[in-house]
Amino acid sequence: MMRFLPVLLVFISINAFAQSYSAKIAKHREAYKQDFITDSRSPLKKKDLENLHFYDADSTYKVLADVTLLQNEKVFKMPTYDGTSSDYYRYAHVNFSLNGKKLQMTLYKSVALSANPVYKDHLFLPFTDETNGKITYGGGRYIDLDSKAITNNQIEIDFNKAYNPYCAYSEGYRCPVPPQENDLQLAVAAGEKLYTGEKKHRK
């Protein structure tokens, strides 16, 4: 029995971690849903939340990425799905491996949000992948990050926290279109899936 004990302990440890991680993601998603109820701009009401769907939490989609800060980047206009645009600048490149592939993405900062002390550290990671239009929203998904979370030129990116733009639920929102440089050539089976409710029209 003793020779199997280390293996058993490792199994128990891995199982406990998986349960703990799942609970952490579940808590994050519950807070995410509550934000729809408290946000006056929200396209969804409490009864609509049953139409939100997510992949099961999977820690393999939580990666530690190397960060390369970009210098002297000019402001550019990121197109939005309503035909307008918003001002952003490229903040950093992030490099990591996911499902055996080496990937690079770009983090952005919103000019408007950067002027607000509350959001001055906010980093925006919009992306598309091979699940779009099939299992996830066709217009791509977003991840929010914080520049203060960059430590030793690395940052954690958790695709389990990928969420849909408001345009996935309703017309009439200025949702940024993920730039082509963040189009991932693989399926990111993590985060929010397609909304199954009726798409609304913003008044």
How many other CB atoms are found less than 10 A from the CB of residue 8? 10
Counting other chains too, the contacts that 153-156 makes at CB distance below 8 Å and 24 or more residues apart are 153/66, 153/67, 153/68, 154/64, 154/65, 154/66, 154/67, 155/64, 155/65, 155/67, 155/94, 156/62, 156/63, 156/64, 156/65
β-pair type (122-127, 76-79): unpaired
Lowest mean pLDDT among 14-18, 152-156, 195-199: 14-18
Over 75-135, what HEC string results? CEEEEECCCCEEEEEEEEEEEEEECCEEEEEEEEEEHHHHCCHHHCCEEEEEEECCCECCC
pLDDT digits (tens, 9 = 90+) for 62-76: 999 999 999 999 999
Among candidate residues 147, 146, 142, 102, the one with its CA nearest the CA of residue 125:
142
- Whether 147 shows a pLDDT value over 70: the answer reads yes
Question: Element (H or E) spanning 201, and its range?
Answer: strand 200-201
What is the rounded average pLDDT for all residues in the chain? 91
Region 126-148 average pLDDT: 98
pTM for the complete prediction? 0.89
pLDDT digits (tens, 9 = 90+) for 92-125: 999 999 999 999 999 999 999 999 999 999 999 9
Q: Identify the pLDDT of residue 17.
A: 52
Burial of 66 (0-12, 13-18, 19+ CB in 10 A): middle
Q: Identify the pLDDT of residue 201.
A: 72
Q: Identify the pLDDT of residue 11.
A: 45
Q: Identify the pLDDT of residue 2.
A: 47
Among candidate residues 102, 111, 190, 187, the one with its CA nearest the CA of residue 143:
190
Could you tell me the end-to-end alpha-carbon distance of the chain, in angstroms, rounded to an integer?
Answer: 68
